[in-house]
Amino acid sequence: MQLNINKGKIFRAQKVVIYGPEGIGKSTLASQFPDPLYIDTEGGSAHLDVARVECTQDWNTLIETVKAVAEQDVCKTLIIDTADWAEQLCTAAILKKYRQTSIEGFGYGKGFTYLAEEMAVLLYTLDEVIASGKNVVLTAHAKMRKQELPDEAGAFDRWEMKLSRNVSPLVKEWADMVLFLNYKTFVVKSDTGSGKAQGGQRVIYTTHHPCWDAKNRHGLPEEMPLRFDELAAIFDKQVCKDYDTLKTFMARDNVTEEQIRTLLSADKAYKADKPLSAYASKLVAKWDVITSNLV
């Protein structure tokens, strides 16, 4: 058997999950992705000036709509808004098929197994959209759950996607990025020692934390302002290529990110909270000058 071996990174469409509490701006952030098309499962995109297909009633219609998007050149990003309402459509279809009144009525968790299997069908179909060169974004609401670790005393509150216990792990594993949106609040101590909440800036968390799920495969900062321009470079093929070249140059010449950011800080347009990929093209073009300044 002849092996077809290739090397290097492959630029492809991205699988993104955006979740957070209601009203944080999930749908608005998703609308800024390249050329979006919404499959609106809950009617929540009405306030946005976007292309949409409403699918609030039927699970099979949702699957067929996703297949049609994979086959047609109608967008660059498919958005399902929201995944938890899509799961409700899935649950309703299962209950109707097996003539049950509750997903727990099957006994021994069997209903949740059926639910995970059907939601996996949606993820497989979304992979067809990815294969066609279109990005996929799933939005989801967040919920608080009490977390108890088996080897530790006590418990703590944790944010997670508002999906059933069998479905949530499937979605997290499927995604390239899981982005958690929330308000960053600071507690300030008064002279009397009492705490007062201040701030409330909206941020994106991109990496795992004991209090929430998040991940990314692009070296993003752990925390970023809630703006799409912080993510835009990931969806630009040339920027990705330049960023790979930059990392190769840095490794070859033993240059650290801290050294690069120190040089960039002299530029008034530089923002420390932006990923280094946002400056990759400029850095690659001036690499000889950069290395001479580091000597």
Does the structure show a pLDDT above 70 at 189? Answer: no
Of 88, 85, 90, 97, nearest to 63 (Cα)? 90
Q: Which of 14-23, 68-77, 190-199, 218-227 has the lowest mean pLDDT?
A: 190-199
The answer on pLDDT for 197 being more than 60 is no
Q: How confident is the model at residue 3 (pLDDT cuts 50, 70, 90)?
A: confident
Contact between residue 135 and residue 151 where contact means Cβ atoms under 8 Å apart: no
User: For 143, which DSSP code?
Assistant: E
pLDDT of the residue at 167: 93
Read off the pLDDT of each residue in 117-144 and give the average, rounded to a whole number.
94
The residues with which 189 forms a beta bridge, in sequence order, are: 195
Average pLDDT score over the chain: 86
Architecture in CATH for domain 15-227: 3-Layer(aba) Sandwich (3.40)
Contact (Cβ atoms closer than 8 angstroms) between residue 138 and residue 41: no
Domain ranges of the chain: 15-227, 238-294
Q: How confident is the model at residue 187 (pLDDT cuts 50, 70, 90)?
A: low
Is the pTM above the cut of 0.75?
yes
> Element (H or E) spanning 80, and its range?
strand 77-81
